[in-house]
Amino acid sequence: MSSDARVLVIDDDPDVSLLTRLQLENAGYDVVEAASAAEGLSRALDTAPDVVLLDWMLPDGDGIGLLAELRASAATADVPVIMVTARSHAGDQRAAWEAGVVDYLTKPFDGRDLLRCVRDAVADPASSRQEARRREALERLSGREVDTDRLSAVVEHASDAIVTTSLDGTVLTWNRAAETLCGYRADEVVGRPVSVLAPPGRHDPLAEALERVAAGVTVPHFETVRRRKDGTDISVSVSVSPIRDEHGHITAASTIARDITERKAEESLHRGLLEAAPDAMVVVDDTGTIHLVNAQTEALFGYERDELVGQAVEILVPEEHRGAHPGHRRGYFIEPRTRPMGQDLELTARRRDGSVFPVEISLSSIETERGRLVSAAIRDVSERKAAEARFRGLVDAAPDAMVIVDPHGRIELVNAQADAMFGYERGELVGRPVEVLVPPRFREQHPGHRRTYNEQARVRPMGAGLELYGLRKDGSEFPVEISLSPLQTGDSVSISAAIRDVSVRKRAEAVQTAAFEREREASRRLREVDRLRSDFLSTVSHELRTPLTAIRGFADLLVEHWDATEGEQRRALVQRIAGAGLRLDRLIEDLLDFTRLERGQLGIELGARPVADLVEEALRHVAVSLERHEVEVDLEPSLVALVDEAAIARVFVNLLTNAAKFSPAGSTISIRAVATDDRIAVSVIDRGSGIPEEEQDRIFERFYRAQGGTARRPGTGVGLAIVKEFTEAQGGEVHLRSTVGEGSEFTIRLRPART
């Protein structure tokens, strides 16, 4: 054994530090102690240790950070570091190994393990073996995550884009399909809000889906548009679902997206082809004889091609018009220009089976070597006529007000609902400019908007994202929603507007939004409480390990070295064991209090108790914690309060332990009790750190622990919740007066017992 090897122990817990020192000294090592990261660093530089034992959680920083600093300085770059910590989570261990520790010990540890680790590190600082250990540990740790690895390979190679985001929408992971789909590489989006993919200026359904997911809902397929890196838009079908951690808490969201742009394009091509279906074509000479027909003609009229060619064209004309037809024909041959036939007439045609149907015919002439021929493009408009009739019916039956406007902005047609909605007599609006329905403040821009629409007419809501208003005849305004669609009539396009009065809905929406906000706030609070609760549980398990380490270690030490230890030192060690036992006791009490709070069963039974007895009892209970403080008691004589003895004891114990914990050794803690008009006021006053104004309310919440300098003191955040809830359950109140840097005064106002 290299008895002159020096070990630097960096741990802020005095018990653990002392225990480690004794164990190492007994084995012949020279030990240096440090209680903070800063002290650890400077001791490492000026004592040149052979090994460093490092606690993870230090009052001024964490062990991993300190390790990096040690590595960065030439003098300490190669010193082997052993992490000694209560953190046993695989992720923590991995982080430590990756940061370059040579060993990892979890508290409570066995003295023999500690010595073995130190001996190995001293014996082989050149660390080829350490390197092997580290690799082995990392492999072992990653073994635990083999499923996760396989899973992530599946995700990575999936053909759908799979993106995970935090609940506030920050991208956490981004697979290859997402790269292909959106054109961003993972390193360009991870850490950024997923909303960079939302085309600007519109409502983003994905953002809304994320909110619902945070509340626990899985949002199945919906379609939305995303903007790619190159600025083009794609249509995607998306589903979003919550990701939960091992406790079942929702921590993130997973979004799966599939490109449906092609499907959309195909659909519209299809529609386009349908709309562009060629007409039936019939070519006739100046005698009216049919020369040529196409397949559509056969289909439309029910003749074979051969039955038509060579026949007089009148075969296709209904009997009642046949007589007049040759005259018309001749007329066209005299002035042959491309034009629709029979302007303003309702044209009809006759099928082979004698049935008659409405048509539209467009004529043009062709010069050939056989002379002039006329070609007629014949379109069956029965569908359209029927549709028109249906349309009229529809317009009048529509739930919305319908206004149809011609290309010049004149109203062509309105339904009864529109007249009623805008307050006009039936028929009064037709022929007037549509701007009469628009409030004056929007009137000027309106014709411009109309022209823009005409240039790119498609079905869409009007004024996306804008609040629209209609103007009644009497000058009053009302909120509306308008959906526009182009209406092809002949060569020109009219615009049909479906208008809905949304005043009622707007009011309902406002109410709903408020309700939604409240719900969201409530769910945020629940999440916060949940987070605090799991923090509490991990704090408790961490806090349990430290005194256990001390108890086990000191006891082992005494057993092994009983004879070699002097009487005085033995007593000191046993006292340490007792102290650690007390710390465990406190934690168990906190845990019990915690369960009582959670169950909401405080089991209060009130009785008359002299305040002096209560104070004395509490002081006896916390005597050890108050050892290093002056205690000053000033009670008005013969005060008797109406309290539950067990509950009030927890209140005082918590206040006194906090006072000791958050004020410097040697300072005074005062306990005062006075009778006020209708209450007995008992105050616990310390001259400690004080509590910032903005935290004074929050510290009474369950599990809440102040964020500032006191955050690293031992504790679970339950104490003051107990103080408040127990006091109130006894019909009392808690008041706090505190100034940062001067101290705090907690006052409990209790009900007096009437005698």
Q: Which residues bind ligand ADP (CB under 6 A)?
A: 654, 658-659, 662, 686, 688-689, 691, 699, 704-706, 710, 715-721, 744
Closer to ligand ADP by Cβ: residue 108 or 743? 743
Q: Which helix (H) or strand (E) holds 252?
A: strand 250-259
Q: Least distance (Å) from ligand ADP to the CB of residue 541?
A: 15
Give 540 or 604: the residue with its C-beta nearer to ligand ADP.
540
Q: Tell me how far, at minimum, the Cβ of 531 lies from ligand ADP, in Å.
A: 16
Q: How far is the CB of 749 from ligand ADP (least distance, A)?
A: 18
Nearer to ligand ADP, 162 or 622 (CB): 622
Residue 324 to residue 321: CA distance in whole angstroms? 6
Of 419 and 590, CB closest to ligand ADP: 590
Residues 6+ apart with CB under 8 A from 163: 171, 173, 174, 175, 178, 194, 254, 255, 257
398: left (phi over 0), alpha (psi -120 to 50) or beta: beta
Residue with smaller CB distance to ligand ADP, 111 or 732: 732
Of 496 and 710, which CB lies nearer to ligand ADP in the complex structure? 710
Q: How far is the CB of 108 from ligand ADP (least distance, A)?
A: 22
Instruction: Pick the closer one to ligand ADP by CB: 380 or 745.
Output: 745
Instruction: Report the C-alpha gap between 557 and 321 in whole angstroms.
Output: 122
The set of long-range contacts for 603-608, using a CB threshold of 8 Å and a minimum separation of 24, is 603/644, 604/644, 604/647, 604/726, 604/729, 604/730, 605/644, 606/642, 606/643, 606/644, 606/730, 606/731, 607/642, 607/643, 607/644, 607/645, 608/640, 608/641, 608/642, 608/753, 608/755
Q: How far is the CB of 719 from ligand ADP (least distance, A)?
A: 2
Q: Which is nearer to ligand ADP, 282 or 723 (CB)?
A: 723
When computed from its CA atoms, the radius of gyration of the chain, rounded to whole angstroms, is 44
CB of 583 to ligand ADP, least distance (A): 12
Task: Transcribe 162-199 into DSSP letters.
Answer: EEEEETT-BEEEE-HHHHHHH---HHHHTTSBGGGGSP
Contact of 419 with 400, CB cutoff 8 Å:
no
How near is the Cβ of 720 to ligand ADP at its closest, in Å?
Answer: 3
Residue 25 Cβ vs ligand ADP, minimum distance, rounded to whole Å:
34
Shortest distance, position 673 Cβ to ligand ADP, whole Å: 18
Q: How far is the CB of 566 from ligand ADP (least distance, A)?
A: 37
Residue 35 or 699 having the CB closest to ligand ADP: 699
With respect to ligand ADP, which residue has the nearer C-beta, 627 or 697?
697
Which residue, 61 or 714, is less far from ligand ADP as judged by CB?
A: 714
What does the alpha-carbon distance between residue 563 and residue 567 come to, in Å, rounded to a whole number?
9
Preceding peptide of 108 cis, ω within 30° = yes
The strand pair at 743-750 and 680-686 is best described as antiparallel
- Residue with smaller CB distance to ligand ADP, 308 or 699: 699
Identify the three-state secondary structure at position 750. strand
Distance CA 728, CA 749 (A): 9
Q: Could you tell me the smallest distance in angstroms from the CB atom of residue 540 to ligand ADP? A: 10
CB of 51 to ligand ADP, least distance (A): 34
Q: Considering the complex, state which of residue 111 and residue 715 has its C-beta at the smaller distance from ligand ADP.
A: 715
In whole angstroms, how close is the CB of 590 to ligand ADP at the nearest point? 7
- Picking from 617, 601, 619, the residue whose alpha carbon sits closest to that of residue 609 is 617
Those residues with Cβ within 8 angstroms of residue 101's Cβ, 6 or more apart along the chain or in another chain: 54, 67, 81, 82, 83, 134
Question: Among candidates 728, 628, 711, 634, which has minimal Cα distance to 672?
Answer: 634
Beta-strand runs (E) in 65-155: 81-85, 103-106
DSSP for 34-54, please give it.
Answer: ESSHHHHHHHHHHH--SEEEE
CB 98 within 8 A of CB 90: no
Axis crossing angle, helix 567-599 with helix 503-561, rounded to the nearest 10: 160
